[in-house]
Structure 1
Amino acid sequence: MSDRLEAGDPERIGEFWLAGRLGAGGQGVVYDAYGPDGTRVAVKVLHGAQEAPRELALMAAEARAAQRVASFCTARILQVRLEPPRPYIVSEYIDGLSLQGTVKGAAGRPGRRFAGDDLHRLGIGIATALTAIHEAKVVHRDLKPGNVMLGPDGPRLIDFGIARVLDTHSATEGTFAGTLRYMAPEVYAGRRAGAEADVFAWGAIMVFAATGEHAFQGGTLPEIAHRIRTHHPDLAALPDALRPLVEAALAKDPLARPSARAVLAALTRDPREGPGGPDDLVAAGAAQAGLRSRWEPGDPALGKVAEDVYAALPPREQGLVPEVFLRCVVPGEDGSLATRPVALAELSDRDRPDEARALEHVVRAFEPLLVVAGDQVVLARPAVLRAWPRLRDWAEDERDGLRVHHRVREAARTWADHGRRRGDVLTGAHLDEAVRWATAAGSGPSLNRLERGLLDASTRARTARGRRTRAAAAVLAVTTLVSLTATGWAIRAQRTTVDQRDIAASRQLAAQSRQFGATAPDKAALLAVAAHGIRETPESRAALLNIVTHPARGVLNGYRGDPRAVAADRAGRLLAIGNKDGTIGLWDVRRHRRAGGFLRLFEGDGSDVPMMVALSPDGRTLAGAAADEESAAGSTWADGDVRGTVRFWDVRTRRPLGELPVSSGPGSVVFAPDGKSAAVNDGEEIALWDVGTTLRRRGPVVRAAESDYGTFTVVSPDATAVATGEISGELGVWDLASGERTASFPVEGAAVALSPDARTVVTAESGEDYDTYVRFYDARTGKQRSKPIRMSLASDVGPFSPDGRAVFIGTQLRDTATGTRLGTLPVDSGDDAKIVSFAGEHTVVSLTANDFSRNTVRLWDVTVHQPDRRPFDPVPPDERDGLNRHGFSPDRRTMVTLAAVGGQDAFQTWDVGSGKQTRPPVPAPSDANGRTDADPIVVRPGGGAFAVADLEARIKLWDQAARRWSVLDDGPGGVVNAMALSPDGRILAAGRGHLVHAPDRPADGRVQLWDLDARAPIGDGPLFTSGEQVTALAFSPDGTTLAAGIGRTVRLWNVADGEELDPPISGLTGTVTALAFAPDNRTLAIGAADATTLWDVRGRRQIGAPLAGHSDRVTSLAFSRDGGILATGGDDGVARLWDVTGQSQIGAPLTGHADRVAAMSFDADAAVLTTSDWAATVRRWNIAMPADPAATACTIAGRTLTRAEWAQYVPPGIDYRDTCPSLSGS
């Protein structure tokens, strides 16, 4: 099913109802939609309000050209409406999977390769479509597997999003339009993409369909471009009949490639018969291209989804379906329909509890068409009103009744809000109409108790009015007394109603805040503040905490451009953004708003012109660079004869300071630390220019690498050094002041970043496994500083932090000395976000590519919910391949590690806070087989002793003062799976599992206690014995209770007398993997599988719903000192924080560990969370909560909630409040 509509998406576009999002791109958003008669279509809404008339004219030409193409080749254009403010194009919906999804697997289906006749027919189908397209004088320009839909009647080409009409195509349009791996070599050279480029893409697609791999691999743009220009793919997997055609299509010279028509002729007929006419040829191709035998439907139609759910319901619940859906519909005065959220209380307000439960089941059954958001039911797919014939008929049949019911419902709510006053009942014609509707037969909504109560009260009031006229005197006295009494009750009832209204509004706004968290952090922050201001609830508190503990620090309010370059001053106060249209805007980072008007660098559409901006470190001078308008209009950027201009402005006065007439296209502009000079790379040489005089300073220059995708030229951020070289070749580092080469050494990959101090070079390379490998080199010696970092996806490298000690690789912040991951920004995986600049020491700026439905420029704080820059690594990274174990004291202040020390395995004791070793190493004893391994390890408070279990299941205790080992249990028995120490460190608990020498026999499920002071077991024997493994142990904070996880059960004992506390906690959803008591000694957190549940151990009652989110099993748990926050860690290497009261996640996941999170603890103020992983790496996370969360949220938003937004999101009846008074003028 298509993605759900997002906040801000309309319900309808023209006459088409929207069901969801099919995708978003540079030109707009594509919606899954349905017409008035239920026909499914795709509606592409363009960003016309921001497009120049020329762009809209081009789009209109594209649409008209696409309408000339045969309908069996493409998605047929049904309607074109390009008038502002919301231009759109409606096209046929193609039911099926894309070639990308078919080959790689999608929607739960396994991937498959094409071979034999299937591959041949696929080739015919795509070639047929290309021939028809080219005959219509259109070039697709973005042909790729994702744009080939396998419909029931063969392949169809979709998304003419960057197509251009042949007879209107200028030489400067779209040099780098398209998808990297399927762009022809001439496009990378800067030449126009003609029909030959589509044929090249056809050849690459055939390789992909046959092999499941891209024909041209690579992890970075330079590598992909280099391979496309030089590499010849292996075509052995192709049939003999296809191989020469694909080889010809992939020719590097576009003139050597066959036309699509020639390819189709070769595939469909004997070449000796000649090419034939184009219409006959296309018809022959269409006839031979059918893939019906292998066709798989893609996304099921909304009406079918709804009907299938309806058919599966029992008859009684089927009768309640109209009740639910029609309550979500509001009739308009003009007869149109709209949707509304329905309060759960409105549905459940029934006389019979079984009917209320049945309605709830109906709502759940129709998810995701209906979605429960907080305490409301929302029609998440509005188009179901048109897509589902049954519902369409209900709505049409009940259109008049819906209008009456809407009036009754609104009147009932007003009646209840005002304390059910007699003056608010229905009267006259409205009452007569409501009674007639309520007593008539139909499929519309039935009255709930509140609505029926209103009609009853209205009828009684009308009867009472007639009776009063006959006994006025007597009634007057009685009425006076009753009125006085009723007034008191009404006031109290009204107060109760207002309280309920505010609580509901607070919860609703909190839920909406979470929905906006990923797409509009400013709005999410304001809704959270509004929710907390209307009424403090657990939900509003959780929403506020989620905002202030998330690294996202807001967006640039009002920014709607197409960013091409970003730069910041040293303090991070000012941001410069260069836009596609040639303007440069300056933005106040703290207030998230533009600082003054735009500056103009060039005129017209700069989609093909590289653009750079730079700010001097003090923020006083702005530089912008691009190709000259005249030369750009007559040449492409890669032609080599493009002139460039670098312009400077005074930021305060906006006054131009001058231009640098560089002879070629500028590659970069970097200010020197004093801001008085700038290093300019014009594509030929790098030289220093004086900003004040705009003259080149005397002295040597550094030659740039030849302009080729196999080379690189990188200037350091302080304009002191330059790195040049070839991919996986010799790299040279040059001093810009002297022009001398300071270092030369071989590198792997391409140098993509040079640190601010010019001491670190970062390279990126695509490996044979197609992953990207990032390496850090010392720029002075050429030595690698750490092992290569393997990234599963191609990742951008840079920017560096201002001090050069950290660098972003994708969204991960890495230490430049060790390569250690220092943190990860929780960017939505669908955002395609790129970190482009630091703005000060702690703030970074990201751009979200190709998605104008969201604000594309975002700000992040790299210190919020991120670890400190220098992790505590007691085991050096280069020694982690050997033995590596560790354990903690109950207070997590002392750690003992087992690792190689001077060539010998030894135990070392560490103070976790300082990271210093506190006691001499202890050589690890070996067993009969010479093994020194030991796991688990537990440490007594202060580190005076620690206990270990070896591979022979023996438990031993090391006494630091006596410097000797004591054997507590010499086995034999089951493997010691878990050990725990009481808070005072006096009692050791151990739990066992499978037998060491007989793992196939029943487990040795013993739980036993030892007195460590006496070095002796407690009691006459084990606390418990079973045939199941003991997987987790935990003492309560007061030391009186022990909990043990055994299979899917938790058993509890009184430590003082060893008596089991029945009954056990059972029925858990998975094997228990972690346990932790809260400070109150009665709340127990149980990690089982990938979720955690909270239990009241006294009442054996589960508290709330499971806390889920980990992608693997939960391995560690910890409560804050006040019990308000729970930390969970998992095998996925992620730690998560949870608000215990609201049972919601706080902030983004903490993703700094490479593997299992083994242990966690909070400091006294819950400002720092300490975690460790399997490699004994200890991280300290800044999780401090601000003193005034609302004020912090307002700072993140950078503005206040407008009256229009208040009216849009806050339920009626609550007067507007200024959420952020300090920012009202922003």
Structure 2
Amino acid sequence: MDALSAGDPQRIGDYWLAGRIAHRALSSDGRTLVSVSEAGVNVYDVHTGKRTGGWAGLRMKDGTPQEPALNKSGRLLALIIGSELGVWDLASGRQLVRRSLSERGQFGVTWGEHESILTVMYQGDIVYLLDVATGKQFGKALYAEGGTMPWQAPLVDPTGEHLLLAGGRFDELALPGWTPERRLAPCRTHRDVAAFTPDGKTVACAAATIALVDAATGRELKRGDDDWACDICSKSTARLRFSQDGDYLAAFAERELRVWKVADRQQILTYRAEDELTDVRFDADGRTLRYLYDNMVISLDLAPRADATHVRKGVAKLSPEGRWAAMEDPDQNRLGLWDLRARKEVATFPLGEFGAWGFDRTGTRMLVADITSVRLIDLATRKKLWQISTPHTDTNNPERADFSQDGKTITLTLQPSTQEGDFRLLVLDTAGGRLLRTFSSQIDGGPYTPDGRLASTFGRFIDPTAGKPVDAAFDVVRGASAVAVSGQGRLAFSAGPAGRIAMWTAKGPDLLTPVLRGTTGEIEELAFSPKGDLLASVTREGILQIWDVNTMRRLGGAFNLHGSQITSLAFSPDDSTVYAADWGSVYKIPIGAERIVQDVCRRAGHPLSPADWAALLKDVPYRDICPAGQP
């Protein structure tokens, strides 16, 4: 599963079902499974697989139970058995409703979002609505005189005042008066399936695209001009489900499952199940999705495999070993310094227009430059070591800051303020901020090589002592969008929009083959590990890959950060973790074997049992990989 880990696939056993046919239903929070047969009802805790309730015998006329239906809270169970309708309190087994129907078969029941209103149907059309709490029956058939019936089950809203009918058409009725309404206009063009958020404030309705609609005003809640596409929502079997907090939306049809983040409409999961999906539900924990098919409940962990520290939204740069993150806050004209170990902002610094900043290799100092001044900050004390005025701001603006590998000098690259201008490079002494050299250049600066040159994204080295490009050059297609230099003297450059990475030695330079080819998409950021044996790359779409520099091969599969706009990468000192900073978060991604094992055990929530292991890793001998006391 792309960027997801499958957790706890659980096969639920039934006490009453030996040799019998059973039907099952998941509660709306995905934590309870109900199984019904002629012999009785069984209730299970999905996480543990243990039976927590139920009763033998349904005390109804002879007949085979149809699909069970649970109400929103999971407290009420509705069933049609033969020619009778029954409703039970699931906790006590007490029968609350017993009603005769006109005939066997062709009848069905469904709960909407209201706690006590049950819809009774015959051959897909409504027979009546029943409020189980009051015993009141109301409504009537809608399509008895012909016309195309909606193919979705009727949906009563959380207030019990409105009924929605979707599927090839979209109808609305006010309850209990059965009066036609036209409140949700956007749903008339997104008419194939609908769902409410748990709080009832928003409706999602969909066809080829999805629309979010304010349930009170009927106004569509748009985000930008892009359509929210859904490739399965027009199928007659399609269903929509919101997570308990409304942050995620799932669509499922037949074997296909899709999940999006609601805030940015970003699709985070495309999944094909082993068989046709009976139901899909989100756990209240906000990160677990469960689906039901046959006698199996499968849990999927939607939380990113990367731990995230949420920081201010803005362009971010990481210190080389992932201790610090400096985040621009353009609205407040400042730069925030975050201690990622403590997960908090520890200092802020003024930052004017055209800000540029960077860390030294040891992560102990940070240069901050804008159109007014250049400052060197001691990160331990957060105090300013020195400050100078930014020169040449009439023609150039700060673009990037690079420390030499020995930390004795800094090159500040100033980009031209007009298309006709040249870059200007300032070489500063880190001890006191003295301007050692300044020179004009037709190409920009870049990171220092071990021998003191600058590696420009334009495919040339620059000698900061002489103030000009040196003769040696390396081939970079149309300029590189990302460049990195290792302490061992290797260079990595993005090589065009197809996601290729070219590797060179600083001496020579000599091209190392083969060219690295991974996930398609232009590379945005590159970073070497402290030992220089690993390289991390990330595309514009947030696809992260790790490369073995010595063998020139990719390690493992690609890691999908789902559209995150990564602006900086860094490795931990022991190479076991990669840090990736985007617009508002810093992700911590384990790549070392021990860290991955720890992460698996933590996310599973319990040590992996032989049964868990067999379900996940059928062909691998069982090992107890979770350390004692973890998780």
The residue type paired with residue 799 of structure 1 is: R
The count of corresponding residues between Structure 1 and Structure 2 is 554
Q: Does 1:836 find its partner at 2:280?
A: yes
Question: 1:760 offset after TM fit, Å?
Answer: 1.7
Instruction: Give the match's secondary structure for 1:893.
Output: strand
Tell me which residue corresponds to 2:425.
1008
Residues 644 and 658 of structure 1, relative CA distance in 2, 3 Å threshold:
closer
Counterparts of 1:560-709 in structure 2, within 5 Å, are 567-568=26-27, 570=29, 572-576=30-34, 589-590=46-47, 611=67, 613-614=69-70, 617=73, 623=77, 625=79, 645=85, 648=88, 661=100, 665-669=107-111, 679-680=118-119, 682=121, 683-689=126-132, 697-698=134-135, 708-709=149-150
Instruction: Give the match's secondary structure for 1:1116.
Output: strand
Question: 1:1136 offset after TM fit, Å?
Answer: 1.2
Cα distance in structure 1, aligned partners of 2:172 and 2:374: 54
Question: 1:754 offset after TM fit, Å?
Answer: 0.5
Tell me which residue corresponds to 1:1178.
584
Q: Does 1:551 find its partner at 2:551?
A: no
Counterparts of 1:850-929 in structure 2, within 5 Å, are 858-865=298-305, 873=313, 886=315, 888=317, 893-896=325-328, 907=333, 909-910=335-336, 918=348, 922=352
Cα distance in structure 2, aligned partners of 1:981 and 1:888: 12
Cα distance in structure 1, aligned partners of 2:545 and 2:510: 22
Q: Does 1:814 find its partner at 2:266?
A: no
Alignment deviations for residues 644-678 of structure 1 (CA, whole Å, 9 cap, x no partner): 8456585899x9997565778435236977xxx67
Q: Give 1 or 2 for the bigger CA radius of gyration.
A: 1
2:524 touches 2:538 (CA, 8 Å); kept in 1?
A: yes
Residues 1062 and 747 of structure 1, relative CA distance in 2, 3 Å threshold:
closer
Tell me which residue corresponds to 2:271.
827
Question: 1:1118 offset after TM fit, Å?
Answer: 3.8
Cα distance in structure 2, aligned partners of 1:651 and 1:705: 35
**Relative to total residues, which structure has the larger helix share, 1 or 2?**
1
1:762 touches 1:777 (CA, 8 Å); kept in 2?
A: yes
Q: Does 1:938 find its partner at 2:356?
A: yes
Task: Pick one of 1014, 1019, 1032 that aligns with 2:437.
Answer: 1019
Alignment deviations for residues 743-795 of structure 1 (CA, whole Å, 9 cap, x no partner): 945334336111111122122254xxxxx1x2323323434444276234434
The residue type paired with residue 1087 of structure 1 is: S
Tell me which residue corresponds to 1:1219.
623
Instruction: Give the match's secondary structure for 1:968.
Output: coil
Alignment deviations for residues 521-570 of structure 1 (CA, whole Å, 9 cap, x no partner): xxxxxxxxxxxxxxxxxxxxxxxxxxxx74322544599xx999752464
Instruction: Give the match's secondary structure for 1:1073.
Output: coil
Counterparts of 1:255-266 in structure 2, within 5 Å, are none
Cα distance in structure 2, aligned partners of 1:790 and 1:597: 46
Counterparts of 1:256-335 in structure 2, within 5 Å, are none
Residues 802 and 701 of structure 1, relative CA distance in 2, 3 Å threshold:
farther
Q: What residue ranges of structure 1 are gaps of 5+ in the alignment?
A: 1-516, 519-548, 630-642, 691-696, 767-771, 875-885, 925-933, 949-955, 999-1003, 1211-1216
Alignment deviations for residues 64-116 of structure 1 (CA, whole Å, 9 cap, x no partner): xxxxxxxxxxxxxxxxxxxxxxxxxxxxxxxxxxxxxxxxxxxxxxxxxxxxx
Cα distance in structure 1, aligned partners of 2:537 and 2:203: 37
Q: Does 1:1199 find its partner at 2:612?
A: yes
Q: Does 1:724 find its partner at 2:142?
A: no
1:730 touches 1:747 (CA, 8 Å); kept in 2?
A: no
Instruction: Give the match's secondary structure for 2:304.
Output: coil
Residues 650 and 1114 of structure 1, relative CA distance in 2, 3 Å threshold:
same
Residues 1018 and 648 of structure 1, relative CA distance in 2, 3 Å threshold:
farther
Cα distance in structure 1, aligned partners of 2:52 and 2:513: 48
1:614 touches 1:670 (CA, 8 Å); kept in 2?
A: no
Q: Does 1:968 find its partner at 2:392?
A: yes
Residues 1100 and 965 of structure 1, relative CA distance in 2, 3 Å threshold:
closer
2:527 touches 2:569 (CA, 8 Å); kept in 1?
A: yes
The residue type paired with residue 1183 of structure 1 is: I
Alignment deviations for residues 495-546 of structure 1 (CA, whole Å, 9 cap, x no partner): xxxxxxxxxxxxxxxxxxxxxx78xxxxxxxxxxxxxxxxxxxxxxxxxxxx
Cα distance in structure 2, aligned partners of 1:594 and 1:1144: 46
Cα distance in structure 1, aligned partners of 2:489 and 2:275: 43
Cα distance in structure 2, aligned partners of 1:943 and 1:728: 61
1:556 touches 1:593 (CA, 8 Å); kept in 2?
A: no
1:550 touches 1:1148 (CA, 8 Å); kept in 2?
A: no
Counterparts of 1:126-145 in structure 2, within 5 Å, are none
Instruction: Give the match's secondary structure for 2:108.
Output: coil
Alignment deviations for residues 942-980 of structure 1 (CA, whole Å, 9 cap, x no partner): 9984347xxxxxxx75779999984436548xx99x634
Alignment deviations for residues 1178-1200 of structure 1 (CA, whole Å, 9 cap, x no partner): 34446354564675787398434
Question: 1:835 offset after TM fit, Å?
Answer: 8.2
1:1170 touches 1:1178 (CA, 8 Å); kept in 2?
A: no
Q: Does 1:845 find its partner at 2:290?
A: yes
Question: 1:1171 offset after TM fit, Å?
Answer: 3.1
2:139 touches 2:178 (CA, 8 Å); kept in 1?
A: yes
The residue type paired with residue 392 of structure 2 is: L
Q: Does 1:1076 find its partner at 2:515?
A: no
Question: 1:802 offset after TM fit, Å?
Answer: 1.6
Question: 1:1112 offset after TM fit, Å?
Answer: 1.4
Q: Percent identity?
A: 14
Question: 1:1114 offset after TM fit, Å?
Answer: 0.4
Cα distance in structure 1, aligned partners of 2:309 and 2:197: 17
Question: 1:821 offset after TM fit, Å?
Answer: 4.2
Q: Does 1:1138 find its partner at 2:562?
A: no
Cα distance in structure 1, aligned partners of 2:182 and 2:578: 42
The residue type paired with residue 243 of structure 2 is: S
Instruction: Give the match's secondary structure for 2:608.
Output: helix
Question: 1:826 offset after TM fit, Å?
Answer: 5.4
Note the aligned Cα RMSD (angstroms). Answer: 6.3
Alignment deviations for residues 864-885 of structure 1 (CA, whole Å, 9 cap, x no partner): 32686988546xxxxxxxxxxx
Cα distance in structure 1, aligned partners of 2:495 and 2:33: 47
Q: Does 1:1109 find its partner at 2:541?
A: no
The residue type paired with residue 567 of structure 1 is: L
Residues 615 and 747 of structure 1, relative CA distance in 2, 3 Å threshold:
closer
1:1086 touches 1:1092 (CA, 8 Å); kept in 2?
A: yes
Instruction: Give the match's secondary structure for 1:894.
Output: strand
Cα distance in structure 1, aligned partners of 2:308 and 2:140: 40
Residues 1070 and 1199 of structure 1, relative CA distance in 2, 3 Å threshold:
farther
TM-score by length of 2: 0.63
Tell me which residue corresponds to 2:446.
1033
Task: Pick one of 730, 749, 754 that aligns with 2:196.
Answer: 754
2:162 touches 2:172 (CA, 8 Å); kept in 1?
A: no
**Relative to total residues, which structure has the larger strand share, 1 or 2?**
2
Instruction: Give the match's secondary structure for 1:1199.
Output: helix
Alignment deviations for residues 1004-1040 of structure 1 (CA, whole Å, 9 cap, x no partner): 7x78344398888643646xx67xx65x83347xx98
Question: 1:1044 offset after TM fit, Å?
Answer: 2.0
Tell me which residue corresponds to 1:798.
240
1:777 touches 1:785 (CA, 8 Å); kept in 2?
A: yes
The residue type paired with residue 614 of structure 1 is: L
1:798 touches 1:835 (CA, 8 Å); kept in 2?
A: no
